[in-house]
Amino acid sequence: MSYFNKYDPVPADTPKRRERAFKNGNTAQGDCFKYRGRGCVHLTWKNNYKKAQDKFGVNFVDSPDCIICEAI
């Protein structure tokens, strides 16, 4: 969990990492872990989950674990 905190917008250990989290759509505490790499091709960052949602019509943002289900 400490690995994910480095890139989470709230507990990030540097302003640069905090800014990177926001730029990639992770705006709430816990977003980095929630939108961690999953699936055959790992999606990371909330923005990429949104792109996959738009592409495939599956609500991956609200249900990020579905990325695994849809890949099978």
C-alpha to C-alpha distance for 4 and 53, rounded to whole angstroms: 22
Would you state the pLDDT for residue 19?
Answer: 93
Would you state the pLDDT for residue 46?
Answer: 93
Per-residue pLDDT tens for 2-53? 788 888 888 998 999 999 999 999 999 999 999 888 877 778 899 999 998 9
Would you state the pLDDT for residue 25?
Answer: 92
> Is the overall model pTM greater than 0.75, yes or no?
no
- Of 20, 71, 35, 63, which is closest to residue 12 (Cα–Cα)? 20
Would you state the pLDDT for residue 42?
Answer: 78
